[in-house]
């Protein structure tokens, strides 16, 4: 995500019919997450055991932003599952066992709790586990947080792209764009609203300037144009988004009116 991208969004917000509600708050209160689809492909009539297995799976993921269905395909050699976001393929799974933890994980629960507590956003740093590569971007991120007037309402979390406990979460992030999985660079995702993640800053693009532009977007006054052309990908997650705490950004801007411009 580059400077031009953010500048266009911010300009649109300024020239549109803006309201005093900030982008991050409006999306949390009003932005329903887009749906994923999990499809079970099979080549012959389903046995009762498979029907029961899929029924339990459907019940387990029913509270997440996901739909489940089965599709018969004569040409396949053996059954499998595929995950889609809108119309885009994300991942393939050969067994039901591989789907454990698909819709929830400890780190996703922590991030959702921070968003529901009124935090401006969560800055998620996806590491390569190469210290030389990871350190520079992390330093830039921490420098921005330390100097930002919104630093106390921004949560920073780190995640290894090789994490076994969070492998589904890491996979979801790496599928936000088609080519991310092949890029061996650290990535910074801004997460806001009801678990919406912006396209990441990558490698050398994780600069203080670009991070500040991301924060400018989260603190910008919302507008009709932004609402209709909202960037980002909704992360698969099961949670109740009702009754979030008051957005903490509001008091900071009320106490420092010039920050609202």
Low-confidence residues in the chain, pLDDT < 50: 1, 3-5, 7-18, 224-225
- Our count of domains for the chain comes to 2
The answer to whether 20 and 67 are in contact (CB under 8 A) is: no
Claim to verify: residue 54 and residue 122 sit in the same structural domain: no
Is pTM beyond 0.85 here? yes
Q: In which domain, by residue range, is 175 found?
A: 3-32+105-260
Supply the CATH number for residue 67's domain. Answer: 3.40.30.10
List pLDDT tens digits, range 153-186.
Answer: 999 999 999 999 999 999 999 999 888 999 999 9
Q: What angle do CA 236, 72, 87 make, to 5 degrees?
A: 35
Residue 219: predicted pLDDT: 87
The per-residue pLDDT for 110 is 97
Q: What is the pLDDT of residue 17?
A: 42
Residues 84 and 156 in one domain: no
The token duo for 47 is: 């046995």
- Average pLDDT, whole number, for the chain? 88
Residue at token pair 């019919």: 17
Query: What per-residue string of b and e applies to 206-218 under the rule 16 or more CB within 10 Å gives b?
Result: bbeebbebbbebb
**For the chain, first and last CA: distance in Å?**
23
């Amino acid at each position: 995500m580059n400077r031009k991208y953010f500048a266009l969004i911010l300009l649109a917000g300024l020239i549109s019919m803006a309201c005093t509600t900030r982008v991050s708050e409006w999306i949390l209160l009003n932005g329903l997450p887009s749906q994923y689809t999990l499809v079970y492909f099979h080549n012959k009539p389903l046995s009762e055991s498979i029907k029961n297995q899929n029924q339990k799976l459907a019940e387990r993921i029913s509270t997440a932003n996901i739909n489940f269905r089965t599709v018969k395909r004569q040409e396949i050699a053996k059954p499998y599952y595929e995950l889609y976001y809108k119309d885009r393929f994300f991942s393939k799974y050969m067994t039901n066992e591989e789907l454990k933890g698909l819709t929830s994980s400890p780190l996703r629960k922590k991030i959702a709790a921070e968003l529901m507590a009124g935090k401006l956003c969560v800055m998620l740093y996806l590491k390569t586990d190469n210290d030389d590569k990871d350190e520079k971007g992390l330093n830039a991120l921490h420098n921005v947080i330390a100097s930002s007037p919104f630093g106390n309402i921004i949560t920073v979390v780190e995640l290894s792209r090789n994490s076994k406990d969070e492998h589904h979460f890491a996979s979801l992030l790496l599928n936000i764009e088609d080519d991310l999985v092949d890029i061996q660079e650290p990535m910074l995702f801004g997460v806001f609203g009801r678990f919406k993640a912006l396209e990441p800053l990558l490698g050398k693009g994780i600069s203080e300037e670009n991070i500040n532009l991301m924060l400018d977007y989260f603190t910008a006054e919302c507008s009709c144009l932004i609402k209709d052309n909202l960037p980002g990908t909704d992360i698969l997650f099961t949670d109740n988004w009702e009754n979030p705490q008051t957005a903490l950004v509001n008091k900071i801007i009320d106490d420092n009116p010039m920050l609202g411009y």
